[in-house]
A = this chain, B = another copy of it.
Protein backbone atom coordinates (compact mmCIF):
# COMPACT_ATOMS: atom_id res chain seq x y z
CA UNK A 1 0.00 0.00 0.00
CA UNK A 2 1.29 3.44 -0.89
CA UNK A 3 2.12 5.57 2.15
CA UNK A 4 -0.04 8.42 0.82
CA UNK A 5 -3.07 6.11 0.72
CA UNK A 6 -2.35 4.79 4.21
CA UNK A 7 -1.89 8.32 5.60
CA UNK A 8 -5.25 9.32 4.20
CA UNK A 9 -7.02 6.25 5.56
CA UNK A 10 -5.80 6.86 9.10
CA UNK A 11 -6.39 10.61 8.83
CA UNK A 12 -2.76 11.73 9.13
CA UNK A 13 -0.72 14.48 7.46
CA UNK A 14 2.08 13.21 5.23
CA UNK A 15 5.63 14.61 5.38
CA UNK A 16 8.02 13.17 2.79
CA UNK A 17 7.65 10.66 -0.03
CA UNK A 18 4.04 9.41 -0.27
CA UNK A 19 4.87 6.97 -3.04
CA UNK A 20 6.89 4.64 -0.83
CA UNK A 21 5.33 1.19 -0.68
CA UNK A 22 4.43 0.01 2.85
CA UNK A 23 4.16 -3.75 3.26
CA UNK A 24 4.19 -4.34 6.99
CA UNK A 25 4.34 -2.79 10.45
CA UNK A 26 7.15 -3.27 12.96
CA UNK A 27 8.68 -1.84 16.13
CA UNK A 28 10.92 1.20 15.82
CA UNK A 29 14.09 -0.84 16.38
CA UNK A 30 13.15 -3.67 14.03
CA UNK A 31 11.44 -1.81 11.20
CA UNK A 32 13.29 -1.81 7.87
CA UNK A 33 12.62 -1.12 4.20
CA UNK A 34 8.92 -1.15 3.31
CA UNK A 35 7.93 -1.08 6.99
CA UNK A 36 5.93 1.36 9.06
CA UNK A 37 6.53 2.17 12.72
CA UNK A 38 5.49 4.85 15.23
CA UNK A 39 6.78 7.13 17.98
CA UNK A 40 4.18 7.28 20.73
CA UNK A 41 6.18 8.84 23.53
CA UNK A 42 8.59 11.77 23.50
CA UNK A 43 11.29 9.62 25.10
CA UNK A 44 11.46 7.58 21.91
CA UNK A 45 11.85 10.56 19.55
CA UNK A 46 15.65 10.29 19.59
CA UNK A 47 15.42 6.68 18.38
CA UNK A 48 13.55 7.93 15.33
CA UNK A 49 16.70 9.69 14.14
CA UNK A 50 18.39 6.37 13.42
CA UNK A 51 15.39 4.27 12.40
CA UNK A 52 15.57 2.21 9.22
CA UNK A 53 11.77 2.25 8.89
CA UNK A 54 10.38 3.46 5.59
CA UNK A 55 7.87 5.62 7.46
CA UNK A 56 6.84 6.48 11.00
CA UNK A 57 3.76 7.91 12.65
CA UNK A 58 4.50 10.88 14.89
CA UNK A 59 2.58 13.40 16.97
CA UNK A 60 4.64 16.26 15.46
CA UNK A 61 7.40 16.42 12.87
CA UNK A 62 10.78 15.08 13.99
CA UNK A 63 13.60 17.08 12.42
CA UNK A 64 16.38 14.96 10.98
CA UNK A 65 14.41 11.71 10.88
CA UNK A 66 15.42 9.70 7.79
CA UNK A 67 11.97 8.12 7.35
CA UNK A 68 8.87 9.57 5.82
CA UNK A 69 6.55 10.83 8.54
CA UNK A 70 2.80 10.82 9.06
CA UNK A 71 1.67 13.32 11.67
CA UNK A 72 -1.42 12.32 13.61
CA UNK A 73 -2.93 13.31 16.93
CA UNK A 74 -2.43 9.88 18.52
CA UNK A 75 0.33 7.92 16.73
CA UNK A 76 -0.40 4.72 18.69
CA UNK A 77 -4.04 4.80 17.67
CA UNK A 78 -3.02 5.70 14.12
CA UNK A 79 -0.65 2.76 14.13
CA UNK A 80 -3.43 0.41 15.29
CA UNK A 81 -5.53 1.59 12.33
CA UNK A 82 -2.60 1.26 9.94
CA UNK A 83 -1.96 -2.30 11.14
CA UNK A 84 -5.58 -3.19 10.45
CA UNK A 85 -5.05 -1.94 6.88
CA UNK A 86 -1.70 -3.73 6.45
CA UNK A 87 -2.60 -6.93 8.30
CA UNK A 88 -6.33 -7.49 7.82
CA UNK A 89 -7.77 -10.42 9.80
CA UNK A 90 -7.56 -13.87 8.22
CA UNK A 91 -10.59 -14.85 6.13
CA UNK A 92 -12.19 -18.26 6.46
CA UNK A 93 -14.27 -19.50 3.52
CA UNK A 94 -17.81 -20.44 4.53
CA UNK A 95 -18.06 -24.17 5.15
CA UNK A 96 -19.80 -26.39 7.71
CA UNK A 97 -17.58 -29.44 8.20
CA UNK A 98 -19.41 -32.75 8.12
CA UNK A 99 -16.98 -33.83 10.83
CA UNK A 100 -18.54 -31.31 13.20
CA UNK A 101 -21.48 -32.47 15.34
CA UNK A 102 -24.43 -30.14 15.04
CA UNK A 103 -27.52 -31.32 16.88
CA UNK A 104 -29.93 -28.57 15.96
CA UNK A 105 -28.64 -25.11 15.11
CA UNK A 106 -29.51 -22.16 12.95
CA UNK A 107 -26.21 -20.98 11.46
CA UNK A 108 -26.07 -17.75 9.44
CA UNK A 109 -24.59 -17.51 5.97
CA UNK A 110 -20.88 -17.11 5.53
CA UNK A 111 -20.07 -18.96 8.75
CA UNK A 112 -17.36 -21.59 9.09
CA UNK A 113 -17.57 -24.58 11.40
CA UNK A 114 -14.40 -26.67 11.72
CA UNK A 115 -14.21 -30.42 12.32
CA UNK A 116 -14.80 -31.68 15.87
CA UNK A 117 -16.83 -28.66 16.90
CA UNK A 118 -19.89 -29.68 18.90
CA UNK A 119 -23.05 -27.56 18.69
CA UNK A 120 -26.09 -28.52 20.78
CA UNK A 121 -29.78 -27.93 20.23
CA UNK A 122 -31.72 -24.68 19.90
CA UNK A 123 -28.47 -22.88 19.09
CA UNK A 124 -28.42 -19.76 16.94
CA UNK A 125 -25.19 -18.59 15.32
CA UNK A 126 -25.04 -15.43 13.20
CA UNK A 127 -23.35 -14.69 9.88
CA UNK A 128 -19.65 -14.86 9.11
CA UNK A 129 -18.74 -16.55 12.40
CA UNK A 130 -15.80 -18.95 12.71
CA UNK A 131 -16.12 -21.89 15.09
CA UNK A 132 -12.75 -23.62 15.48
CA UNK A 133 -12.08 -27.28 16.29
CA UNK A 134 -13.02 -28.69 19.71
CA UNK A 135 -15.38 -25.85 20.52
CA UNK A 136 -18.30 -26.96 22.70
CA UNK A 137 -21.53 -24.97 22.36
CA UNK A 138 -24.24 -26.19 24.72
CA UNK A 139 -28.01 -26.01 24.22
CA UNK A 140 -29.87 -22.71 23.89
CA UNK A 141 -26.81 -20.60 23.14
CA UNK A 142 -27.13 -17.52 20.92
CA UNK A 143 -24.14 -16.01 19.08
CA UNK A 144 -24.28 -12.83 16.92
CA UNK A 145 -22.52 -11.99 13.65
CA UNK A 146 -18.79 -11.91 12.89
CA UNK A 147 -17.65 -13.78 16.00
CA UNK A 148 -14.39 -15.71 16.27
CA UNK A 149 -14.64 -18.69 18.64
CA UNK A 150 -11.17 -20.19 18.86
CA UNK A 151 -10.24 -23.78 19.64
CA UNK A 152 -11.24 -25.67 22.77
CA UNK A 153 -13.66 -22.97 23.98
CA UNK A 154 -16.66 -24.05 26.09
CA UNK A 155 -19.90 -22.06 25.87
CA UNK A 156 -22.37 -23.42 28.36
CA UNK A 157 -26.18 -23.49 28.25
CA UNK A 158 -28.19 -20.30 27.61
CA UNK A 159 -25.18 -18.03 27.05
CA UNK A 160 -25.91 -14.98 24.87
CA UNK A 161 -23.08 -13.54 22.81
CA UNK A 162 -23.26 -10.32 20.74
CA UNK A 163 -21.60 -9.32 17.48
CA UNK A 164 -17.88 -9.17 16.69
CA UNK A 165 -17.01 -11.02 19.90
CA UNK A 166 -13.65 -12.85 20.03
CA UNK A 167 -13.19 -15.77 22.40
CA UNK A 168 -9.55 -16.86 22.58
CA UNK A 169 -8.69 -20.53 22.91
CA UNK A 170 -9.75 -22.45 25.99
CA UNK A 171 -11.93 -19.86 27.67
CA UNK A 172 -15.00 -21.11 29.56
CA UNK A 173 -18.19 -19.12 29.34
CA UNK A 174 -21.22 -19.90 31.48
CA UNK A 175 -19.79 -22.53 33.79
CA UNK A 176 -21.61 -23.10 37.09
CA UNK A 177 -21.28 -20.27 39.62
CA UNK A 178 -19.59 -21.11 42.92
CA UNK A 179 -22.55 -21.23 45.27
CA UNK A 180 -22.97 -23.54 48.26
CA UNK A 181 -24.93 -23.49 51.52
CA UNK A 182 -23.38 -25.08 54.57
CA UNK A 183 -25.21 -27.77 56.49
CA UNK A 184 -24.77 -27.99 60.25
CA UNK A 185 -22.47 -31.00 59.82
CA UNK A 186 -20.15 -28.96 57.60
CA UNK A 187 -21.28 -30.42 54.27
CA UNK A 188 -21.78 -28.00 51.41
CA UNK A 189 -25.05 -28.16 49.45
CA UNK A 190 -24.71 -27.04 45.84
CA UNK A 191 -27.04 -24.20 44.89
CA UNK A 192 -28.25 -24.72 41.31
CA UNK A 193 -27.02 -21.93 39.06
CA UNK A 194 -29.90 -21.31 36.69
CA UNK A 195 -28.92 -17.91 35.27
CA UNK A 196 -26.83 -17.17 32.22
CA UNK A 197 -23.91 -15.16 30.86
CA UNK A 198 -24.50 -12.23 28.49
CA UNK A 199 -21.55 -10.93 26.48
CA UNK A 200 -22.26 -7.72 24.59
CA UNK A 201 -20.83 -6.57 21.24
CA UNK A 202 -17.13 -6.14 20.55
CA UNK A 203 -15.94 -7.96 23.67
CA UNK A 204 -12.73 -10.01 23.57
CA UNK A 205 -12.11 -12.74 26.15
CA UNK A 206 -8.55 -14.05 26.58
CA UNK A 207 -7.27 -17.60 26.58
CA UNK A 208 -8.32 -19.87 29.46
CA UNK A 209 -10.51 -17.21 31.11
CA UNK A 210 -13.53 -18.34 33.12
CA UNK A 211 -16.86 -16.49 33.34
CA UNK A 212 -19.46 -18.15 35.56
CA UNK A 213 -23.15 -17.90 34.85
CA UNK A 214 -25.47 -16.23 37.33
CA UNK A 215 -27.38 -17.93 40.10
CA UNK A 216 -30.69 -16.56 38.81
CA UNK A 217 -30.40 -13.73 36.33
CA UNK A 218 -27.22 -12.88 34.44
CA UNK A 219 -23.51 -12.28 34.58
CA UNK A 220 -22.95 -9.47 32.06
CA UNK A 221 -19.87 -8.21 30.21
CA UNK A 222 -20.44 -4.75 28.67
CA UNK A 223 -19.68 -3.87 25.06
CA UNK A 224 -16.13 -3.22 24.03
CA UNK A 225 -14.60 -4.67 27.20
CA UNK A 226 -11.34 -6.59 26.63
CA UNK A 227 -10.03 -9.45 28.78
CA UNK A 228 -6.44 -10.65 28.83
CA UNK A 229 -5.76 -14.34 29.64
CA UNK A 230 -6.64 -16.40 32.74
CA UNK A 231 -9.16 -13.90 34.14
CA UNK A 232 -11.83 -15.16 36.54
CA UNK A 233 -15.33 -13.65 36.76
CA UNK A 234 -17.69 -15.00 39.42
CA UNK A 235 -21.45 -15.40 39.17
CA UNK A 236 -23.76 -12.36 38.99
CA UNK A 237 -20.88 -9.99 38.24
CA UNK A 238 -21.71 -7.02 36.02
CA UNK A 239 -18.90 -5.39 34.09
CA UNK A 240 -19.49 -2.14 32.20
CA UNK A 241 -18.40 -1.15 28.71
CA UNK A 242 -14.87 -0.56 27.42
CA UNK A 243 -13.09 -1.97 30.48
CA UNK A 244 -9.64 -3.56 30.43
CA UNK A 245 -9.09 -6.65 32.58
CA UNK A 246 -5.43 -7.61 32.46
CA UNK A 247 -4.17 -11.16 32.92
CA UNK A 248 -4.99 -13.24 36.00
CA UNK A 249 -7.46 -10.72 37.43
CA UNK A 250 -10.21 -12.19 39.63
CA UNK A 251 -13.66 -10.67 40.25
CA UNK A 252 -15.67 -12.31 43.02
CA UNK A 253 -19.40 -12.94 42.82
CA UNK A 254 -21.95 -10.10 42.47
CA UNK A 255 -19.32 -7.35 42.13
CA UNK A 256 -20.28 -4.45 39.91
CA UNK A 257 -17.56 -2.93 37.74
CA UNK A 258 -18.35 0.41 36.05
CA UNK A 259 -17.49 1.60 32.54
CA UNK A 260 -13.94 2.32 31.30
CA UNK A 261 -12.43 0.64 34.35
CA UNK A 262 -8.89 -0.77 34.18
CA UNK A 263 -7.93 -3.71 36.40
CA UNK A 264 -4.19 -4.32 36.19
CA UNK A 265 -2.63 -7.78 36.23
CA UNK A 266 -3.23 -10.20 39.12
CA UNK A 267 -5.53 -7.74 40.93
CA UNK A 268 -8.69 -8.94 42.62
CA UNK A 269 -12.08 -7.58 43.66
CA UNK A 270 -14.06 -9.01 46.58
CA UNK A 271 -17.70 -9.98 46.22
CA UNK A 272 -20.65 -7.55 46.15
CA UNK A 273 -18.42 -4.44 45.74
CA UNK A 274 -18.79 -1.55 43.28
CA UNK A 275 -16.01 0.01 41.28
CA UNK A 276 -16.87 3.41 39.80
CA UNK A 277 -16.58 4.43 36.15
CA UNK A 278 -13.10 5.27 35.00
CA UNK A 279 -11.36 3.83 38.06
CA UNK A 280 -7.98 2.09 37.81
CA UNK A 281 -6.87 -0.73 40.11
CA UNK A 282 -3.11 -1.32 40.36
CA UNK A 283 -1.39 -4.61 39.64
CA UNK A 284 -1.67 -7.26 42.38
CA UNK A 285 -4.02 -5.02 44.37
CA UNK A 286 -6.93 -6.47 46.31
CA UNK A 287 -10.09 -4.39 46.47
CA UNK A 288 -12.02 -4.91 49.72
CA UNK A 289 -14.40 -1.93 49.66
CA UNK A 290 -16.12 0.22 47.05
CA UNK A 291 -13.92 2.36 44.79
CA UNK A 292 -15.22 5.80 43.72
CA UNK A 293 -15.21 6.81 40.03
CA UNK A 294 -11.97 7.93 38.37
CA UNK A 295 -9.81 6.95 41.38
CA UNK A 296 -6.57 4.99 41.22
CA UNK A 297 -6.44 2.35 43.97
CA UNK A 298 -3.41 0.24 44.87
CA UNK A 299 -2.29 -2.27 47.50
CA UNK A 300 -3.91 -4.80 49.75
CA UNK A 301 -6.30 -3.75 51.05
CA UNK A 302 -6.55 -1.40 48.07
CA UNK A 303 -6.46 2.31 48.96
CA UNK A 304 -6.02 5.58 47.05
CA UNK A 305 -2.69 5.40 45.28
CA UNK A 306 -1.30 8.54 46.94
CA UNK A 307 -1.93 7.02 50.41
CA UNK A 308 -0.26 3.80 49.31
CA UNK A 309 2.77 5.74 47.98
CA UNK A 310 3.02 7.62 51.26
CA UNK A 311 3.00 4.33 53.18
CA UNK A 312 5.82 2.97 51.01
CA UNK A 313 7.86 6.11 51.77
CA UNK A 314 7.11 5.95 55.51
CA UNK A 315 8.17 2.30 55.63
CA UNK A 316 11.44 3.00 53.85
CA UNK A 317 12.13 5.89 56.25
CA UNK A 318 11.56 3.65 59.30
CA UNK A 319 13.85 0.96 57.88
CA UNK A 320 16.54 3.57 57.25
CA UNK A 321 16.23 4.86 60.83
CA UNK A 322 16.50 1.29 62.07
CA UNK A 323 19.63 0.71 60.08
CA UNK A 324 21.20 3.95 61.32
CA UNK A 325 20.37 3.24 64.95
CA UNK A 326 22.15 -0.11 64.63
CA UNK A 327 25.37 1.49 63.52
Roughly how many angstroms separate A284 CA and B212 CA in the complex, as a whole number?
20
Give min CB distance, A277 to chain B, whole Å: 10
What number of copies of this chain does the assembly contain? 3
Q: Is A319 an interface residue (CB 8 A)?
A: yes
User: Quick one: which of A151, A157, A307 has the most chain B CB within 10 A?
Assistant: A151
Interface-lining segment among A62-70, A78-86, A289-297: A78-86
Roughly how many angstroms separate A265 CA and B300 CA in the complex, as a whole number?
13
Give min CB distance, A239 to chain B, whole Å: 14
From A89, which residue of chain B is reached at the shortest CB distance? B192
Roughly how many angstroms separate A99 CA and B101 CA in the complex, as a whole number?
9
Contact sample, A vs B, 17 pairs, CB 8 Å cutoff: A77-B181, A84-B189, A89-B192, A90-B157, A116-B118, A134-B134, A136-B152, A150-B156, A154-B207, A166-B190, A169-B172, A170-B210, A228-B232, A230-B232, A246-B252, A252-B265, A311-B318
Q: Is A19 an interface residue (CB 8 A)?
A: no
Query: Contact between A83 and B266 (Cβ–Cβ < 8 Å)?
Result: no
Number of interface residues of A (CB under 8 A): 103
Q: Is A182 an interface residue (CB 8 A)?
A: yes
From A202, which residue of chain B is reached at the shortest CB distance? B187
A-B CB proximity, top 4 nearest? A136-B151, A80-B181, A154-B169, A118-B133
Interface-lining segment among A1-9, A23-31, A104-112, A121-129: A23-31
The A39-89 residues at the B interface (CB cut-off 8 A) are 74, 76-77, 79-81, 83-84, 87-89
Q: Is A33 an interface residue (CB 8 A)?
A: no
Roughly how many angstroms separate A79 CA and B215 CA in the complex, as a whole number?
12
Q: Is A234 an interface residue (CB 8 A)?
A: yes
